[in-house]
Amino acid sequence: MIGTIVNTCTIVVGTLLGVALHKGIKDRYKTALHDALGLACFAIGLNAVVTNLPKSQYPVLFIAAIAIGTVAGVALDLDARVKRLINSKQAASSSSSLANGLTTATLVYCIGPLSMLGPVISALQGDNTFLFTNATLDLVTATVFGSTYGIGMLLAAPVLFLWQGLFYCVALLSSAAVSDALMAELLIVGGLLITASGLSLLRIRDCHVLNMLPSLLVPPLWFLLVGLMGQL
């Protein structure tokens, strides 16, 4: 769980740094950091797609997964619901409510392809690239939250640890059921979502990545269906 531990520590360090800064980070530095991290996300996501496409047993499955998952996400209005919740908490920040800050931070830290797929890849393949990338993003975000809401934002760190730890443990317990073929499909779909996140950070295109998160469920369901049909 080294990736999750590092990610948790970056939230602690970022929060403390933000508290030390007090007045926050100037917008031009935030923009520069998000541009750099957006470019990194784009490259890492694209690399995951290109590396795993040749390993795919079903070359069009990722297309179906993205299409079906996005339609499901739009039907559930995931992106707008989460953004409305975050915006409502940020709007209430004028009262210096720690609860509002913690809710916003928890959503930002935990809901995303890097934070959800990263622990799975770490558990099954020992690859912490996604988690280290997420840790870098969270370091910047935690600094901003720490400078805005104060030392109490440290409470978001154990929440992230438990969240990613849950994904890690579930992946370990179900590792026998996760074949290399299924992992390749998950990495293709996850890579596309991370690439889309990079585009959003770079302000090239808001792909509403949260609406696409159900896409990660399509490959496991497909392999489950194929397995059941094979037993008939």
Kindly state the tokens that stand for 145. 């939250």
CA distance 225 to 218: 10
pLDDT band of residue 41 (cuts 50, 70, 90) is: confident
Q: Give me the phi and psi of 146, to 5 degrees please.
A: -65, -40
Concatenated DSSP letters of 66-98: HHHHHHHHHHHTHHHHHHHHHHHHHHGGGGT-H
- Checking if the pLDDT of 103 tops 80, the result is no
Residues 6+ apart with CB under 8 A from 55: 180, 181, 184
Mean pLDDT value of segment 13-29:
81
pLDDT at residue 72, rounded to an integer:
95
- Checking if the pLDDT of 95 tops 50, the result is no
% the chain with pLDDT above 70: 91
pLDDT digits (tens, 9 = 90+) for 168-210: 998 888 877 778 899 899 999 989 998 998 898 888 988 888 8
pLDDT at residue 118, rounded to an integer:
93
Mean pLDDT value of segment 65-92:
83
Kindly state the tokens that stand for 204. 């090239």
Please give the residue that has the higher pLDDT: either 81 or 188: 188
Contact 184, 56 (CB under 8 A): yes
Question: Residue 21 to residues 16, 27, 103, 142: CA-CA distances in angstroms?
Answer: 9, 14, 22, 12
Report the interhelical angle of 113-125 vs 129-149 (nearest 10°): 140
